[in-house]
A and B are shown apart, each in its own frame.
Chain A
Amino acid sequence: MLAAILAAGLAVGATYALIGVTYNLMFSASRVMSFTAGQLGMLGGVFGALFIHRLGMPIIPGFILALAACALVGVVTEIVAVRPVLGSLEQHLYVLSTLGLALMIQQFTAIEWSTEPQPFPVLLGFDGGGPLDEKFWLPLVACVVTIAGLEFLYRRTLVGRAFLAIAEDNFAARALGLPERNLRMGSYALAGVVGGLAGFASGELLLAFFANGAMLNFFGFVPVALGGLGNNRGAIIGGIALGVFQQAANFLVGGVFASVAVFAVFIIVLLVRPQGLFGAPATRRV
């Protein structure tokens, strides 16, 4: 039973962690938290099921196409819901514009895809049903691959360093002549890929279901809020811990209390440390 809790917890947690990274990628590039982060995860699963299961594409092209579609949704988020409101960031209009877009994505999926969870194709067929079933470790693999990929990007490539630069000081980056707008769109595309990967890798576990968007939105945000905005390490550790905690509580005391416990921890930590456990305190206002 412990193995089952751990397997499911790590898998769900890795998915939350990746959605957390999705939030962070968007935030770093634009100082904006977007409600579309969880929807990207949902779309990863839906696109995977659509391309491979329903349209019968081979796995690899289906996978790439699903990620590309999510990257496109990321870029659309930037153009439609983020860029127009960046000029007045202090009015927090992005909360409303990204909420609008996220709901549109969710409703469109519900109507055009299905309001019921749809099966996701079996990718490898490894150990059907046991704790070593691929549905449990694929999200973990996706998480490890994402961490490694981001490390490579940030440490080995100039464009990755440019991402870090606009995250740290957008104004100085612009003054230096960096193509800030293209980099921001690039970040959103990357966020789309990571979110899509989260949904695709957890597709066998969470299925292709429109309501996963709202669920991932919330549980992917919890580790980000607790770890501090923009802090990927916090998001990954927090996400995995959240997944394991939630699954353990699920087994031990039942789903409702698990949800209540997660929510209570979320609220209490935030009220005590609004900047998150690893975040820096707020800056000057006057």
Chain B
Amino acid sequence: MPISAPDTLLTISGMTAGYGKIGVLHGVDMTIGRGEIVALLGPNGAGKTTLLRAVSGLLPWTGQARFDGADLAGVSPRDAARRGLVHVVEGHRVFTQLSVTDNLLLAGYDLPRGERSSRVDEALAYFPEIAAKRADRAGALSGGQQQMLAVAQGLVRRPKLLMLDEPSAGLSPVLVDRVLSVADSLRKGGTAILLVEQLIEKALALADRVYAMAQGRIVLEASTTEADLPHRLEQAYFGKDAVPVLG
């Protein structure tokens, strides 16, 4: 049981959450250190998105969670973002009617007025592709550019922990590499990242550690350097070699 060491940023234990009557998380334990990239893998319906939503306060949850030395209980997404815990939701959901700059300014809604535009420039520095289109409507961007914008929105807050939910979904391989390369440079700046990803090889290549979820629980925790990781992951996804219960 990892005790809140100085280099631990997020500690979750026994987290349960769900939608109405449907329980999705059944006691999740997880820790993330400062400046660490952690990949969260698992089949559909395992509860990865639910976990991210619970941690960022978008969904109610029970259990214990501490972030940066403070309790996360009852914290709203707004408070979480103020503390440096930023969640980029799945599906590059940017505001299509607003310009790129406005999308980013909104991400800095709680920042002091004078600081906002410099933070926007700072976030755009990671993505020259969309910096050139800062006056365009976000709806006019391609899917990949919208995803970059969504990540850039997260960066406006200078997060301590950035949670990315499937940033590669629907992107071409080149763009996936592009988005993920930003994650790498963020790590160098000390930002921790929790990455939910379907592209396992790419996620493993980037991450320091990996968690795999199945049926609302963590079923695997490993360093990405471990040798038999692919085999262990396969088991986590498909279960142990199945013995048919019926003829």
Interface residues of A (CB under 8 A from B): 158, 161-162, 164-165, 168-169, 171-179
Could you say which of B64-72, B105-113, B193-201, B217-225 contacts chain A? B105-113
Q: Does B134 contact A (CB under 8 A)?
A: no
* B78 contact set on A, CB distance < 8 A: 177-179
Q: How large is the interface on B (under 10, 10 to 19, 20 to 34, 35 or more residues)?
A: 20 to 34
* B109 contact set on A, CB distance < 8 A: 158, 162, 176-179
* A172 contact set on B, CB distance < 8 A: 89, 93-95
Task: Output the least CB separation between A39 and chain B (Å).
Answer: 30
Known: A172-B95, A178-B106. 12 other contacts (CB 8 A): A161-B102, A161-B105, A164-B95, A165-B98, A165-B106, A169-B93, A171-B93, A173-B95, A175-B77, A176-B77, A177-B107, A177-B110
* B86 contact set on A, CB distance < 8 A: 177
Contact with A along B155-169 (1 / 0, CB 8 A): 001000000000000
Contact of A177 among B77, B94, B95, B105 (CB under 8 A): B77
CA A175 – CA B89 in complex, angstroms? 7
Task: Output the least CB separation between B72 and chain A (Å).
Answer: 14
- Pick the most buried of B82, B109, B110: most chain A CB atoms within 10 A of its CB: B109
Contact of B157 among A164, A177, A178 (CB under 8 A): A177
Task: Output the least CB separation between A177 and chain B (Å).
Answer: 3
Question: Is the Cβ of A168 less than 8 Å from the Cβ of B97?
Answer: yes
Q: Does B96 contact A (CB under 8 A)?
A: yes
Question: Is the Cβ of B106 less than 8 Å from the Cβ of A176?
Answer: yes
Instruction: For chain B, residues 96 to 129, give those with C-beta under 8 angstroms from any C-beta of chain A.
Output: 96-98, 102, 105-107, 109-110
CA A161 – CA B98 in complex, angstroms? 7
CA A172 – CA B90 in complex, angstroms? 9
Known pairs A158-B105, A177-B107, A177-B157; A168 contacts B95 (CB<8 A): yes
* A161 contact set on B, CB distance < 8 A: 95, 98, 102, 105-106
- Pick the most buried of B77, B80, B105, B106: most chain A CB atoms within 10 A of its CB: B106
* B88 contact set on A, CB distance < 8 A: 175
Task: Output the least CB separation between A190 and chain B (Å).
Answer: 17
CA A176 – CA B155 in complex, angstroms? 11
Instruction: For chain B, residues 134 to 177, give those with C-beta under 8 angstroms from any C-beta of chain A.
Output: 153, 157
Residue of B nearest to A166 (CB): B95
* B130 contact set on A, CB distance < 8 A: none
Residue of B nearest to A179 (CB): B78
* B51 contact set on A, CB distance < 8 A: none
Question: Is the Cβ of A176 less than 8 Å from the Cβ of B96?
Answer: no
Residue of A nearest to B80 (CB): A177
Question: Is the Cβ of B105 less than 8 Å from the Cβ of A175?
Answer: no
Task: Output the least CB separation between A159 and chain B (Å).
Answer: 9
Question: Is the Cβ of A176 less than 8 Å from the Cβ of B98?
Answer: no
Known pairs A172-B89, A176-B153, A177-B82; A158 contacts B106 (CB<8 A): yes
CA A175 – CA B80 in complex, angstroms? 10
* B11 contact set on A, CB distance < 8 A: none
Known pairs A161-B102, A176-B153, A177-B157; A168 contacts B96 (CB<8 A): yes
CA A176 – CA B94 in complex, angstroms? 10
* A168 contact set on B, CB distance < 8 A: 95-97
Residue of B nearest to A178 (CB): B109
Task: Output the least CB separation between B7 and chain A (Å).
Answer: 26
Task: Output the least CB separation between A153 and chain B (Å).
Answer: 13
* B105 contact set on A, CB distance < 8 A: 158, 161
- Pick the most buried of A158, A172, A178, A179: most chain B CB atoms within 10 A of its CB: A172
* A174 contact set on B, CB distance < 8 A: 58, 77
Contact of A169 among B58, B95, B102, B157 (CB under 8 A): B95
* A177 contact set on B, CB distance < 8 A: 77-78, 80-82, 86, 107, 109-110, 157
Q: Which 4 A-B pairs have the closest CB atoms?
A: A177-B81, A172-B93, A177-B78, A175-B89
Question: Is the Cβ of B102 less than 8 Å from the Cβ of A176?
Answer: no
- Pick the most buried of A161, A164, A179: most chain B CB atoms within 10 A of its CB: A161
Task: Output the least CB separation between B73 and chain A (Å).
Answer: 18
CA A172 – CA B107 in complex, angstroms? 11
Q: Does B87 contact A (CB under 8 A)?
A: yes
Question: Is the Cβ of A164 less than 8 Å from the Cβ of B97?
Answer: yes
